Structure formats: structure tokens, C-alpha cells
């Protein structure tokens, strides 16, 4: 293939007015590398011109798009992105922040077959609606139509998907659960994307665009489901073109941590618990480890020894990593839950629950209701910690919700998803403001922390879209034991270190692929015909971050918004890792990181008009 220029390529963009049920399409010539790559590179560019002070307003935009490798023959090239101003993440001034969330499954592949690269939704449907996207013939223009979705109201994510599958057997789906329907009282609702395994088995095995409340933005538009309906087509580029790179994804060192032991792997994200436990760095009781072995029974090898459960490694469409660790009842074969490290820990040890059967219930319940398990679990743990600290005074949250009470946690989760417990549906930031005790609310900028201790990760405040999805600093102390201020400034601000995790959200592949920049750039080059180097990708990552950071500043974020909870800056004798993240250290780090980002912003992005 002759080398092409970025300006020779274009993408299909659709503007959908949900109130008028009107669709306007345009073919947009790529202006720069971000336009070519898609994903968050193009998403942040769009959101610069779509600012809002109310994410749930009909005029607020919800952007859905693909990356350059989404829906291609690239293994793990399955990502669909949703971008908006978050109802959850906000500045101290009260303004929402631009954010994205991404999910796999096969929905993005169907969008690629339909030729739908990007959709911008505005307005609000008059009633609960489904958007059906199809085409009269393969390769033809995408056709948009709206259907009454009253029958879907109140159904779980899996029930919605299975009902739609019965009507559209060639399609894949993006849906909100009850939490998204109750967007006014739930700020961390998700969007569920259907998977092949889910449609074939009937089990609740969707993939989730989980962080930042994108499900609430979609639900606020009375859009309960999007159907991407077309027969499968031949994936491009031809599979032989990417054979070497796909082999690296499926068998290389980068994905080893997420593969099964029998394929040379380490067993998936669940294995993080075993890596962190010797240092007593697994979150327990609202991110305050006990310094004991209380969480060890939750290690995968110990759960596997229980006769009641069988763990199966299952995969997304055409993926050799098989990262899904699905728990089944041994006797009946009934699917119970997909156990990734974050929901497992945040709905178990971090709320004092250690019974595997109960944990499966809680994890699957958040999935079925369309709740972000990270935000939900951390908000629950904040409420439990508040109640523990006020046990003698009689003050309580959510009826006295307590550590270890799995039944009460289940009831609280059900109530949150159904919109009946807005006190907890608002997330840890707003709840802590309501009761006046922010020191142990485990979030930065309103985004609850994933299951890695903030005591050991001063990079959290600069994550744009969740601490383990957009800032690769969460395991640095465990692996490198570095505590110097200059080291941490460089780690947080470098597009080759802390920011590097955003690369895959530019191009549309899964973070578990573990590829080098050179391998990803080769894949993009072969898929698009444009010569893209590893250095080009690195620079695009930096620009994408800086656009997101600039939007934070434009939405009222001050230096004081880049904070950690005060309690995590105090020494914990229970954590067997170097104590370096002191109040003094963090204050100096904050000043230096913000100065570095401000200088990078000045040097790398043109000023907005």
C-alpha cells in the first residue's frame, strides 16, 4: 500500500437530535493525527466546543465514537467510547468535567461494519426510546430510526440486551440499566455493551463503560438502548496483515498478567490481590488495611479450592487473552459473576465482606443495575466508615450500614440502582460534603479510587477518567519502591510512564494487550495506510492528556482540586511499603506537577479561540 497522508483520510460523523428524531451526516476530512486515531483524541477536541454546566441538560452532548483499530482485525480492537461532561467528576466550583468511558464486547465491531465512526447526541427523546442503526445493504449508508422502549423500562442490563437480541438477531447493543434511568439520583451509572458470550449463553456477561456516569448522561436523554444491526462482514485489514502483532497480543509478555497459567499467564487482574497482599496493600475497610491476612481467603487459588465454585477463563470476540474470570456454581453450572480485581475487592474486603457467595451477589447486582462497581463500592465503604466513627453518637448514613453486613449492602445497592437512595447515589465526594467529613472520602475530583491504595499512589489526582484507567502510577511503589519527588513528578507527567495508559483509548484496543508503542504504531499504519511512528503515538498521548487537563481548568478546577483525602497522607503501620506520601511531600509534588503540566500545555497546544 502506498503511503497516505492524514489529510487524505476522512471519517463519518452523525449528528443526532433526539428531540426532533433528526439525523445529519457528514464526511469529515482528518485535520491531524488525533482525527485519524479517533477515540479520546478526537473526543476531547469535540468536547472543547461542547462545554456545559449541566451534563443532564438536553443541550448537553453525548459523543459515541471508535478508535482507528476498533472493529478491525486487530486482536482486542473492540473498544467503543462514550464522551461527555461527567455528572460525577466536578470541580470545587461545581462545574462538571469532560470525561470518557470505554468498553469492549462486539458493539463497536458492528458500528464499524455500519460505517459509523462517530455520533453526537443532543436533545432528549419525548419518551423512553431505542435507537436502531442499520443499513439496507452491506456498505450502504447507515440508517437511523427510533423505536418506543417503554417495554424496556426498569429492566436490568442483561434483560434489556436479551430482549433486544430476540428482536434483532444480527445486532449488538449498548444499553443503560435502572441506574441510568434514575440519572437524577444516581451519578455513577454505566453503559453496558453486549458480548458474544452473553448473547449465546443468556448470562449477564456484558462489558461496561463504567466510569464517570456515562449511563446517566445517556439515560437523561431518554435513550435506553442503541442497536447496531447488521450481518457480520469481513474484518479489515486482512487478518494476515496483522498476524505478527496479534500473536504478540495473544502470547506475548505484555498480556501475560491477564492470561491463564496454562498459557504462560498469571491468572488475570484477580492475581493483583496476591501481589499486593504480602505488603498488606489490598484495600480493606475503606482503604485502611488491617495488616493481617484477613483478605487472603479471597485469592483466586483459595477460591478455586472451594468445592462450590468453578472458575472459567472466557474471552471477548476474537481475543486470545481470555481475561474474563467467570465464576460458576460447580453442581448446577449456573453463572454467578465475572470477578475482576476492582469490583471483587471494593465489594468484599473494602466493605468487610469475605463470603464468596455474597460477593458474587453484590458484583453481579451492580452489573445488572448498571452501576459502576468502583464508585458504588467506595461510596458504600465511606458510609460504613462514617457509621463506625459515629457509633456512639447515634448519627448514621443509610440506616446504619455497617462493615461486614452483606445483606444490608445488597439492599443499599438495590436501592441506589432503583433511585431510592440518592444519598449514596451521589457518590463519595458529595456525600462527604453533605456530612462535613471529607478526610476519608476516597476520591479525587469526585472520581472514587479503584482498588489500589491512595497512600501509595500520589498520581491519582491527575487521572482524567479514573485512577487505574488514565494514570499508570497505581503499582509503581510496589514494583519500584521509588520515593523521590523528582521521580514521581516525571512518572506522573511523562507520556511514556503515567500518561502512557491513555494510548489504547486513542486507538481502540484493550489495555490488556500490553503492546509496545512500536507494535501499536505498526498496527495503525497497516490499518490506515498512514505512516505512524511510536513517537507520533507518544506525542498524541501527551496532547490528548493536555486537552483533558485544559478542559478541567476551563471548567473551574483550581490547584486545590488536585488533592488526596487527608487521612491517606498519614502513616499507617499496617502497610508494609515505604511511607513517603506525607502532607509535605504531596504539597511539593502538587506544586511541581501542576507547574510541569502548565508548561507542557503552553508548549504543545495552540490556545483556544
User: From residue 543, how far is each of 308, 343, 548, 605 by CA, in Å?
Assistant: 50, 31, 9, 7
Helix (H) or strand (E) holding 89: strand 80-90
The radius of gyration of the chain's CA atoms, rounded to the nearest angstrom, is 23
Reported as a pLDDT band with limits 50, 70 and 90, residue 3 is: confident
The reported pLDDT for the residue numbered 266 is 83
What average pLDDT score do residues 357-381 get? 98
* Three-class SS state of 192: strand
| Block residue for cell numbers 445488572 | 368
Please, what's the largest Cα pairwise distance for the chain? 75
Residue 509 is predicted with a pLDDT of 97
Interior CA angle at 89 toward 190 and 204, to 5°?
Answer: 15
In whole angstroms, give the CA distance from residue 557 to residue 444. 12
Query: Is the confidence at residue 289, as pLDDT, over 90?
Result: yes
Reply yes or no on whether the pLDDT at 122 is more than 70: yes
pLDDT band at 100 (very low <50, low <70, confident <90, very high): very high
Mean pLDDT of 272-293: 97
Predicted confidence band of residue 5 (pLDDT cuts 50, 70, 90): very high
Report residue 263's pLDDT band, with 50, 70 and 90 as the boundaries.
confident
List, for residues 573-606, the tens digit of each pLDDT value.
999 999 999 999 999 999 999 999 999 999 999 9
pTM: 0.98
The candidate with the shortest Cα–Cα distance to 207, out of 87, 117, 338, is 338
Residue 221 and residue 124 in contact, taking contact as beta carbons nearer than 8 Å: yes
Q: How many whole angstroms separate alpha carbon 146 and alpha carbon 156? A: 21
pLDDT tens-place string over residues 323-344: 889 999 999 999 999 999 999 9
SS3 state at 563: coil
pLDDT, averaged across the chain: 96
Residue 554 has pLDDT above 60, yes or no: yes
Residue 1 clears pLDDT 60, i.e. is over it: no
4 DSSP assignment: B
Residue 27 scores a pLDDT above 90 = yes
Q: What is the pLDDT of residues 447-477, one digit of tens each?
A: 999 999 999 999 999 999 999 999 999 999 9
Nearest to 284 by CA among 376, 346, 358: 346
Q: Which residues contact 200 (CB under 8 A, 6 or more apart)?
A: none
The predicted structure's pLDDT at residue 267: 84
pLDDT at 2: 61
Task: Read off the pLDDT of each residue in 109-134 and give the average, rounded to a whole number.
Answer: 98
70 Cβ neighbours under 8 A, 6+ residues apart:
38, 39, 77, 78, 79, 80, 108, 109, 111, 112, 507, 508
pLDDT classification of 188: cutoffs 50, 70, 90? very high
Q: Quick one: 6-239 is in which CATH superfamily?
A: Aldehyde ferredoxin oxidoreductase, N-terminal domain (3.60.9.10)
Task: Express each pLDDT in 59-82 by its tens digit.
Answer: 999 999 999 999 999 999 999 999
Q: How confident is the model at residue 137 (pLDDT cuts 50, 70, 90)?
A: confident
Condensed to tens digits (0 to 9), the pLDDT of residues 511-533 reads 999 999 999 999 999 999 999 99
Q: What is the mean pLDDT of residues 236-240?
A: 90
Task: Read off the pLDDT of each residue in 195-200 and give the average, rounded to a whole number.
Answer: 97
> Which residue is associated with the grid cell 466513627?
389
Q: Which three cell numbers stand for residue 585?
A: 511531600
Amino acid at each position: 500500500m502506498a503511503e497516505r497522508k492524514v489529510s487524505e483520510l476522512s471519517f463519518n460523523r452523525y449528528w443526532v437530535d433526539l428531540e426532533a428524531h433528526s439525523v445529519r451526516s457528514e464526511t469529515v476530512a482528518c485535520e491531524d493525527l488525533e482525527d485519524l486515531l479517533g477515540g479520546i483524541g478526537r473526543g476531547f477536541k469535540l468536547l472543547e466546543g461542547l462545554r456545559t454546566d449541566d451534563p443532564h441538560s438536553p443541550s448537553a452532548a453525548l459523543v459515541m465514537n471508535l478508535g482507528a483499530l476498533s472493529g478491525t482485525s486487530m486482536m482486542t480492537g473492540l473498544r467503543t467510547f462514550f464522551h461527555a461532561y461527567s455528572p460525577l467528576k466536578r470541580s470545587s466550583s461545581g462545574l462538571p468535567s469532560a470525561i470518557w468511558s470505554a468498553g469492549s464486547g462486539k458493539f463497536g465491531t458492528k458500528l464499524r461494519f455500519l460505517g459509523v465512526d462517530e455520533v453526537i447526541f443532543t436533545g432528549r427523546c419525548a419518551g423512553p426510546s431505542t435507537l436502531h442503526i442499520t443499513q439496507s445493504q452491506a456498505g450502504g449508508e447507515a440508517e437511523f430510526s427510533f423505536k418506543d422502549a417503554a417495554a424496556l423500562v426498569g429492566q436490568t442490563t442483561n434483560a434489556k440486551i436479551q430482549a433486544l437480541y430476540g428482536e434483532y438477531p444480527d445486532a449488538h447493543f449498548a444499553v443503560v440499566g435502572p441506574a441510568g434511568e434514575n440519572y437524577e439520583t444516581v451519578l455513577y451509572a454505566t453503559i453496558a455493551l453486549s458480548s458474544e458470550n452473553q448473547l449465546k449463553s443468556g448470562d449477564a456477561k456484558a462489558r461496561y463503560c463504567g466510569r464517570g456516569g456515562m449511563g446517566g448522561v445517556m439515560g437523561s436523554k431518554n435513550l435506553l438502548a442503541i442497536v447496531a444491526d447488521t450481518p457480520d462482514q469481513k474484518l479489515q485489514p486482512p487478518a494476515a496483515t496483522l498476524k505478527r502483532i496479534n500473536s504478540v497480543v495473544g502470547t506475548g509478555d505484555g498480556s501475560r498478567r491477564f492470561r491463564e497459567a496454562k498459557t504462560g499467564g498469571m491468572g488475570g487482574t484477580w492475581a493483583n490481590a496476591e501481589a499486593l497482599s504480602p505488603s498488606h496493600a489490598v484495600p480493606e475497610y475503606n482503604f485502611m488495611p488491617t495488616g493481617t491476612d484477613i483478605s487472603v481467603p479471597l485469592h483466586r487459588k483459595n477460591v478455586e479450592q472451594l468445592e462450590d465454585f468453578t472458575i472459567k477463563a472466557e474471552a471477548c470476540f476474537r481475543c486470545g487473552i481470555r481475561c474474563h474470570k467467570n465464576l460458576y456454581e460447580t453442581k448446577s453450572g449456573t453463572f454467578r459473576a465475572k470477578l475482576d480485581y476492582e469490583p471483587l475487592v471494593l465489594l468484599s474486603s473494602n466493605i468487610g465482606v469475605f463470603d464468596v457467595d455474597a460477593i458474587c451477589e453484590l458484583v453481579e447486582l451492580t452489573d445488572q443495575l448498571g452501576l459502576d462497581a468502583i464508585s458504588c463500592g467506595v461510596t458504600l465503604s465511606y458510609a460504613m466508615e462514617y457509621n463506625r466513627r459515629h457509633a456512639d453518637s447515634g448519627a448514621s448514613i443509610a440506616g446504619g450500614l455497617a462493615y461486614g453486613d452483606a445483606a444490608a449492602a445488597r439492599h443499599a445497592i438495590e436501592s441506589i440502582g432503583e433511585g431510592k437512595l440518592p444519598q449514596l447515589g451521589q457518590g463519595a465526594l458529595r456525600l462527604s460534603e453533605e456530612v462535613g467529613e471529607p478526610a476519608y472520602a476516597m476520591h479525587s475530583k469526585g472520581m472514587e479510587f479503584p482498588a489500589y491504595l491512595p497512600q501509595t499512589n500520589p498520581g491519582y489526582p491527575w487521572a482524567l477518567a479514573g485512577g487505574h484507567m488514565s494514570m499508570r502510577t497505581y503499582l509503581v511503589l510496589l514494583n519500584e519502591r521509588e520515593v523521590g519527588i523528582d521521580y514521581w513528578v516525571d512518572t506522573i507527567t511523562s507520556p511514556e510512564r503515567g500518561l502512557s495508559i491513555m494510548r489504547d483509548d486513542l486507538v481502540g484496543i484493550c489495555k490488556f494487550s500490553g503492546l509496545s508503542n512500536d507494535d501499536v504504531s505498526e498496527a495503525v499504519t497497516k490499518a490506515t495506510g498512514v505512516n505512524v511512528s511510536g513517537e507520533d503515538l507518544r506525542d498524541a498521548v501527551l496532547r490528548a492528556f493536555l486537552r483533558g487537563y485544559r478542559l478541567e481548568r476551563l471548567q473551574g478546577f483550581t490547584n486545590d482540586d488536585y488533592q488526596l483525602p487527608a487521612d491517606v497522607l498519614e502513616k499507617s503501620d499496617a502497610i508494609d511499603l515505604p511511607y513517603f506520601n506525607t502532607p509535605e511531600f504531596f504539597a511539593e509534588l502538587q506544586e511541581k506537577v501542576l507547574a510541569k503540566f502548565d508548561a507542557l500545555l503552553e508548549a504543545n497546544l495552540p490556545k483556544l479561540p
